[in-house]
C-alpha cells in the first residue's frame, strides 16, 4: 500500500520569530489598539513599550530633517496619535494608517502634489534665481501674502527663493501643558524672520469642513481631552467682492503646526499665505515675528474672539494663553 504523506503541522513560532512579527505589525496600530495588544502578553508589552518610546522621540517620524520629541511632565500621555504629512494633501477617507515607531524602516507617507501641470500660474519664468533679484520675491518682505518659486519655474530645488519647501529646519519640541494640552516649543534660538513650518493637513471642501466641525464639537463636549486642528483661511481677492477659502484639517493627518496654540496678543509667529508657481493653492506658512529663545512656546492668534461670537456657551473653550490682554475665551472655528 502506498504511504500517504500527512500534511505537515505548522511549527510554533520561536520567541525571536514572534518578536520579529510583532515588531513588523505593531507599528501600524493606533494608540488604543497598541495599548490593548500590549496587555495580552509579557512579550507584547515589551514590544509596545519600545514602540511607544520611539513614537515619543519623534512626532515627525523621520519625515522632517530633525526629530521633534514629545515631553510630558504633567500626565501619563506619551505622544499624540495622528498621521504625519509634511505637506498639504487631499482629504483622505477612511483615515490613513501610518507605520510609526518601528525604527528606521517607517514607511514614508504617500504624498500628493497639488500642482498645475504645464503652465505656470503664479511666480516667475526664471531659469535661475539670484537671492534678492527674483521677481517672485517682490511681495515677500513683511507681507501677509508672498510668492515663491515652484515647479512652474525653471530654477531647481536649490533656488534661494524656496525657503518653505524643505520642511522644518529649526529644532522644535512638543511640551505638555496642564491647561492647553500639547504645545509646540522652540528648542533653539530662532531669529526674527526665519521660516518655522507650514500648516499641513487635509484640504477639505467647505461642506466637508462644516461636517467635520460638527463632529469635533460633539466629541469635545463628551471627551474633555479631545482637541481638533481645523483651520479656515480666507483670502480676499483684490476686487474685494470675492474671497478664496481654504480649509485645512490637521486633526488626524497633519504636521508639527497642529500643536501651535492660540495667544490673544498675537503670539510670536507671523503667518504668510504663500503661493508657489505651479501650485494650485497657497500654503499657510509660519515665520518668527521676533527673535525666539530656546524653550519658548510658539503661538499665533487664531482670530479675534470679539469678532467670532458664534458658538453656544458649552462649546466655548477657556483661553489659557496667559497674555496680559487675554480675553478669557478661545476664538471659535467659524466654519
The least distance separating ligand SAM from the CB of residue 72, rounded to whole angstroms, comes to: 11
**Residue 233 in the binding site for ligand SAM (CB under 6 A):** no
Task: Identify each DSSP E strand in the chain by its residue range.
Answer: 70-71, 83-84, 89-90, 145-148, 172-177, 181-186, 195-198, 201-204, 230-236, 243-254, 261-262, 269-276, 283-288, 299-300
Q: Which of 119, 163, 154 is nearest to 278 (CA)?
A: 119
In the range 246-265, which residues lie near ligand SAM by CB under 6 A? 258-259, 261-262
Asked, as a colleague might, if the bond just before 94 is cis with ω within 30 of 0, I would say yes
Identify which of residues 252 and 261 has a Cβ nearer to ligand SAM in the complex: 261
Contact between 80 and ligand SAM per CB under 6 A? yes
| 321 touching ligand SAM, by CB under 6 A | yes
Residue 70, all three cell numbers: 514629545
Binder among 50, 194, 320, 329 for ligand SAM (CB under 6 A):
320
d(CA 109, CA 112): 10
- Under the binding rule (CB under 6 A), the answer on residue 232 touching ligand SAM is no
Please, what is the minimum distance in Å from the beta carbon of residue 330 to ligand SAM? 6
Q: Give CA separation, 335 vs 103, 270, 331, in Å.
A: 38, 22, 12
Binding of residue 185 to ligand SAM (CB under 6 A): no
134 makes contact with ligand SAM (CB under 6 A)? no
Is 227 an interacting residue with respect to ligand SAM (CB under 6 A)? yes
Under DSSP, is residue 34 helix (H, G, I), strand (E, B) or coil? helix
Residues 299-318 that bind ligand SAM (CB under 6 A): 317
Choices 85-93, 99-107, 178-186, 203-211 (CB under 6 A): range interacting with ligand SAM = 178-186
Straight-line distance from the first to the last Cα atom of the chain, in angstroms, rounded to the nearest whole number: 79
CA 250 to chain centre: 6
Q: What is residue 190's DSSP assignment? A: B
Q: Which is nearer to ligand SAM, 26 or 184 (CB)?
A: 184
Closer CB to ligand SAM, residue 148 or residue 333? 333
The answer to the question of residue 229 lying near ligand SAM (CB under 6 A) is yes
Closest to ligand SAM by CB, 77 or 171: 77
Q: Which residues of this protein are in contact with ligand SAM, per CB under 6 A? A: 80, 179-182, 227-229, 258-259, 261-262, 317, 319-321, 330
Amino acid at each position: 500500500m502506498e504511504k500517504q504523506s500527512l500534511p505537515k503541522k505548522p511549527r510554533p513560532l520561536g520567541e525571536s520569530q514572534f518578536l520579529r512579527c510583532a515588531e513588523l505589525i505593531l507599528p501600524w496600530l493606533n494608540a488604543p489598539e497598541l495599548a490593548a495588544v500590549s496587555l495580552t502578553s509579557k512579550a507584547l508589552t515589551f514590544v509596545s513599550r519600545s514602540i511607544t518610546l520611539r513614537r515619543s522621540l519623534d512626532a515627525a517620524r523621520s519625515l522632517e530633517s530633525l526629530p521633534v520629541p514629545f515631553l510630558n511632565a504633567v500626565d501619563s500621555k506619551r505622544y499624540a496619535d495622528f498621521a504625519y504629512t509634511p505637506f498639504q494633501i487631499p482629504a483622505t477617507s477612511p483615515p490613513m494608517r501610518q507605520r510609526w515607531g518601528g525604527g528606521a524602516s517607517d514607511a514614508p507617507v504617500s504624498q500628493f502634489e497639488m500642482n498645475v501641470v504645464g503652465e505656470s500660474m503664479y511666480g516667475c519664468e526664471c531659469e535661475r534665481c539670484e537671492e534678492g533679484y527674483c521677481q517672485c520675491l517682490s511681495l515677500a518682505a513683511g507681507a501677509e501674502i508672498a510668492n515663491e518659486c515652484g515647479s512652474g519655474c525653471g530654477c531647481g530645488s536649490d533656488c534661494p527663493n524656496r525657503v518653505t519647501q524643505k520642511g522644518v529646519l529649526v529644532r522644535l519640541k512638543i511640551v505638555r501643558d496642564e491647561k492647553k494640552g500639547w504645545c509646540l516649543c522652540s528648542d533653539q534660538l530662532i531669529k526674527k524672520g526665519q521660516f518655522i513650518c507650514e500648516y499641513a493637513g487635509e484640504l477639505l471642501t467647505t461642506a466637508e469642513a462644516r461636517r467635520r466641525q460638527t463632529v469635533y464639537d460633539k466629541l469635545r463636549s463628551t471627551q474633555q481631552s479631545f482637541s481638533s486642528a481645523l483651520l479656515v483661511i480666507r483670502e480676499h481677492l483684490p476686487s474685494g467682492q470675492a474671497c478664496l477659502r481654504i480649509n485645512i484639517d490637521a486633526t488626524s493627518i497633519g504636521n508639527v503646526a497642529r500643536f501651535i496654540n492660540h495667544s490673544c496678543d498675537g503670539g510670536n509667529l507671523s503667518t504668510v499665505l504663500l503661493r508657489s508657481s505651479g501650485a494650485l493653492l497657497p500654503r499657510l506658512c509660519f515665520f518668527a515675528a521676533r527673535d525666539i529663545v530656546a524653550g519658548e512656546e510658539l503661538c499665533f492668534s487664531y482670530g479675534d474672539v470679539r469678532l467670532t461670537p458664534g458658538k453656544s456657551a458649552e462649546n466655548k473653550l477657556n483661553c489659557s494663553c496667559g497674555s496680559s490682554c487675554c480675553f478669557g475665551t478661545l476664538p471659535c472655528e467659524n466654519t
